[in-house]
Amino acid sequence: MRLLLLTLMFCGGIAVAVQPSINGRLAQKTGILESSCISFFIGTLALLLAALLIGQGALTGVSRATWWELTGGFLGAFFVTCTIIVVPRVGTLAAMTAVIAAQLMTGIVLDHFGLFRLQQIPFDAWRASGVALLAAGAAIVLWR
């Protein structure tokens, strides 16, 4: 099961790397914010259809959510808009390297402190070694 979940995230990583290029091309025809809006609109339609057809939860549960649990859409819109602005100017590899570095640093803090009431996973020497190797790889990729 763990391998399946990690494979799913690997595929998600591919999508995150390809999406800015697609949205950037759309932005050439529509504009930066307009491209973000269209991207989220299409995504919203796809998710609404999936939720209605195969969803197992209840959309009405949103009434029990706290304010900060509703910020994910804003953060996603911010991210997509940033990539539309940055990728055409610095390239996909440099932009994704910055994204991955930020995700790693944030992931360390989230896991170590168990923020958002998630499982607490201490930052240890083993994880530090992995992050250091990834950071070294990022430095090599960005070196000019």
Has residue 60 been placed in a domain? no
40 phi and psi, to 5 degrees?
-70, -35
Chain segment 102-113, per-residue pLDDT in tens: 898 899 999 999
Does residue 130 belong to any structural domain of this protein?
yes
Examine the domain organization and report whether 84 and 143 are in the same domain.
no
The reply to whether 18 and 44 lie within a common domain is: yes
Domain that holds residue 101: 91-144
> What residues contact residue 101 under an 8 Å CB cut-off, 6+ apart?
134, 135, 138
Q: Total domain count for the chain?
A: 2
Q: Are residues 47 and 97 in the same domain?
A: no
DSSP track, 84-121: HHHHHHH-HHHHHHHHHHHHHHHHHHHHHHTGGGPPP-
Q: What global pTM score does this model have?
A: 0.83
Per-residue pLDDT tens over the stretch 40-67: 999 999 999 999 999 999 999 999 999 9
